[in-house]
Amino acid sequence: MHLESFKLFHDLAETKSFTRAAERNNLTQSALSQMLSAMERKLGARLVDRGRNSFQLTAAGEICHDHCREISRLLRDLDHQIQQARTDSGGVIELATCYSIGLHQLPPVLRLFRQNFPNVEFRLRYGLID
């Protein structure tokens, strides 16, 4: 199963609606239904009892939802911590460059880098190419 399947099932269980869960994830109802069928095949259990006007998680679906909720939380935490590590990274980068590159081509690249890594200090050293 793909990690996305866990989020999709979590959203389906939370909304109790194929329509809303599909819209929330920019999918068609058919794609969501196929994902659910694949998940049920992989796990070897029905996860949802669905009727014309009803939606209910089975006992296996409740267990799966609990785990999907935790997986979704862990993925959000992972993303947050990775983003935090990117912005918290610090240190010094020393660059040696020739004047033409250092004065003309490097500044826009350094500006973009500083936006993504504000805690990194640059030390530029200019020299002549022999």
3-state helix, strand, coil in the chain (%, to 5): 65, 15, 20
- Domain range annotation of the chain: 3-86, 91-127
Is 3-86 a domain of CATH 1.10.10.10?
yes
Is 91-127 a domain of CATH 1.10.10.10?
no
Band (pLDDT 50/70/90 cuts) for residue 14 is very high
pLDDT single digits (tens) 31-88? 999 999 999 999 999 999 987 778 899 999 999 999 999 998 999 999 998 888 776 6
How far lies 88's CA from each of 22, 39, 91, 116, 118, in Å? Answer: 36, 38, 10, 10, 8
Domains 3-86 and 91-127 share a fold: no
Q: Is 55 helix (H, G, I), strand (E, B) or coil?
A: strand
